[in-house]
Amino acid sequence: MDFLRPTTWEEALAAKADRPGSVPIQGGTDVMVEINFDVRRPPALLDLTRVAELREWSMTGGLCRVGAGVPYAAVIGELAGPLPGLAQAARTVGSPQIRNRGTVGGNLGAASPAGDSHPPLLAAGAVVEVESRERGVRMIPAAEFYLGVKRSALEPDELIRAVHVPPATGPQYFSKVGTRNAMVIAVCSFAIALHPRERRVGTGIGSAAPTPRRALEAEELLAAELDWEAPLDPALLRRFGELCARAAAPIDDVRGTAAYRVHAISVMARRTLTWAWNDHLKERAA
Amino acid sequence: MRVTLTVNGREESADGVWEGESLLYVLRERLGLPGSKNACEQGECGSCTVYLDGVPVCACLVAAGQAEGRVVRTVEGLADGDRLDPVQEAFVECGAVQCGFCTPGLIVQAHDLLERCPRPSDAEIREALAGNLCRCTGYEKILDAVRLAAGRKEAR
């Protein structure tokens, strides 16, 4: 095994282009587990922690650009204002030690259906910035990034450089089911983002399908029928929960059954929409 | 490969490090610092918690090469000579140590908590220690120890 340590983004792209089989490593919270347990022996590790720019975030072109090396602890400490949904999800990741190391970029790279970043990124309409030496930058909407279980649109010679997330213009919530409040891989999870200016609601379902995904029919229902001036119609709320559950396609596994996940998605969808709607009405009244 | 890093204030080097090796393995098996414990090897138990550039991390999830040139502080580096850190003292006095396997990680993690948050609430203590498993104590004595250490550090 080789250990590659680029110190600039250009060096990192060159290393990935020359060694497409190398595995990028950032916080190591996924990659090192696989190596420690001998389930993966990549020909090379590509350490990205020395590429300093990856640890930075900025507001660019009206979007919050979060470098692929920004740890969850920084998302929680510095980005809870513009990205409340992602920050909430970050708070549920692992433990303090894991949140000090793990990154949203790594979560995207691993592309696990259970990754906590994915539902809020989907709900907010995030776009993933990837790059290769040969073909330059590609901007991939989160909804098109996840292709299968632990499979993403990232090509072997590409690296994730950042994720661009529109700052919240309305309330956002994340909900996650697990056996305790820490160290939990989601049994299933759900994120919601209200976009009041567009009269639209974004959704993200986690750990209840082969990939993280939006509940498109549920979003369309709200776009068509939600009255943004009024309290939530209980019948509409129920239909929203049903359509979110219908968007899920879970399996039975060690963490939970498919039937439980479908049920939990409908509950979390109703709950998060209710929380967000209460905030929305409060903001309007203020 | 060779890995050179600063551990507990001293520059240390290890040769023949395998590229997939963890920082934990380097500390324990190559540098003779067995304080940090090797248990789950997947970041679940917290018993290998060390400071890496001042931030507590699971040493089992840091690739050795990522620690090149970095500054590591382990449980062995908390005491001032023979004088234990207040967190270590409090763990002893409160009976927060039974088999002792989880203790080094808990002490480093509690040490970090009190550096950042000198007067933590119980909720903050629980949150800070959420990634450190103990199968003996039932945690109550550990919480007592952190409260005691917080009071003593503040009184100093």
* Number of residues assigned to chain A: 286
What ipTM was reported for this prediction? 0.97
Which pLDDT value is given to residue B55? 98
Positive or negative torsion for Cα A268, A270, A271, A277: positive
Residue A223 within any structural domain of the chain: yes
> Is residue A221, in this structure, part of any structural domain at all?
yes
The helix (H) or strand (E) run that includes residue B11 is strand B10-14
CA atoms within a 13 Å half-sphere pointing along the CA-CB vector of B74? 22
Reading the block at residue A248, the tokens are 């899920």
CATH superfamily of B86-155: [2Fe-2S]-binding domain (1.10.150.120)
Taking only the tens place, the pLDDT of each residue in B100-140 is 999 999 999 999 999 999 999 999 999 999 999 999 999 99
Phi then psi for residue A176, to 5 deg, are -145, 135
A32 vs B55, B56, B61: nearest CB: B61
Pairs of CB atoms within 8 A across A/B: 89
Surface-to-core class of residue A226, CB atoms within 10 Å of its CB (0-12 exposed, 13-18 middle, 19+ buried)? buried
Q: Is residue A278 part of a domain?
A: yes
Q: What is the pLDDT along chain A (286 residues), one digit of tens a residue?
A: 999 999 999 999 999 999 999 999 999 999 999 999 999 999 999 999 999 999 999 998 899 999 999 999 999 999 999 999 999 999 999 999 999 999 999 999 999 999 999 999 999 999 999 999 999 999 999 999 999 999 999 999 999 999 999 999 999 999 999 999 889 999 999 999 999 999 999 999 999 999 999 999 999 999 999 999 999 999 999 999 999 999 999 999 999 999 999 999 999 999 999 999 999 999 988 8
Across the interface, of B19, B42, B56, the residue whose CB is closest to A96 is B56
Which sequence spans correspond to the domains of chain B?
3-77, 86-155
Whether residues A36 and B60 touch (CB distance < 8 A) is answered with: yes
Which residues in B lie closer than 8 A to residue A1 (C-beta atoms)? Answer: 18-20
**B132 in contact with chain A, both atoms CB, cutoff 8 A:** yes
In this predicted model, what pLDDT tens digit does every residue of B34-79 receive, in sequence order? 999 999 999 999 999 999 999 999 999 999 999 999 999 999 999 9
CATH number of the domain enclosing A276 = 3.30.390.50
| The predicted structure's pLDDT at residue A147 | 97
CA distance A231 to chain B (A): 34
**What is the side-by-side strand order in the sheet with A172-177?**
A172-177, A188-195, A200-206
Residue B71 sits at the chain A interface (C-beta within 8 Å):
no
Q: Determine whether the interchain pair A1/B41 forms a contact, defined as Cβ–Cβ distance below 8 Å.
A: no
Whether residue A32 lies within 8 A of chain B, CB to CB, comes out as yes
What is the fold of B3-77? Ubiquitin-like (UB roll) (3.10.20)
Is A132 a domain residue? no
State how far the Cα of A74 lies from the Cα of A80, in Å rounded to an integer: 9
Q: Which domain holds residue A257?
A: 172-285
Domains of chain A: total: 1
Please tell me which of the candidates B20, B55, B57 has its beta carbon nearest to residue A45.
B20
Q: What is the pLDDT of residue B154?
A: 86
CA separation, residue A194 to residues A101, A123, A198, A222, B73 (Å): 30, 9, 9, 10, 44
pLDDT of res. A65: 98
Q: Are B130 and A182 in contact (CB < 8 Å)?
A: yes
B86-155 matches B3-77 in CATH topology: no
